[in-house]
């Protein structure tokens, strides 16, 4: 089952950190370690 993950920048976590998190989630999806969808704001 696919999961949906919402990523929101917050206190001390800006867009540069969120971009790296998206890269990590994409890597996990490609390597079949996770199955999810990443939405960021």
**Residues 4-36: pLDDT tens digits?**
777 777 777 788 888 888 888 888 778 876 555
Cα 14 from Cα 37, distance rounded (Å):
20
DSSP string, 8-26: --BTTB-HHHHHHHHHHHH
Domain residue limits at 28 = 3-40
Cα 10 from Cα 15, distance rounded (Å):
9
Q: What is the pLDDT of residue 17?
A: 85
Cut 0.75: pTM above it: no
Q: What is the pLDDT of residue 33?
A: 65
Indicate the number of domains in the chain.
1
- The torsion angles phi and psi of 39, rounded to 5 degrees, stand at -115, 125
Q: How far is CA 41 from CA 6, 9, 19, 27, in A?
A: 8, 7, 10, 20
């Amino acid at each position: 089952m696919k999961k949906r993950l919402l990523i929101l920048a917050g206190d001390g976590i800006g867009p540069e950190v969120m971009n790296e998190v998206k890269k990590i989630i994409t890597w996990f999806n490609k390597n079949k370690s996770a199955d999810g969808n990443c939405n960021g704001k």
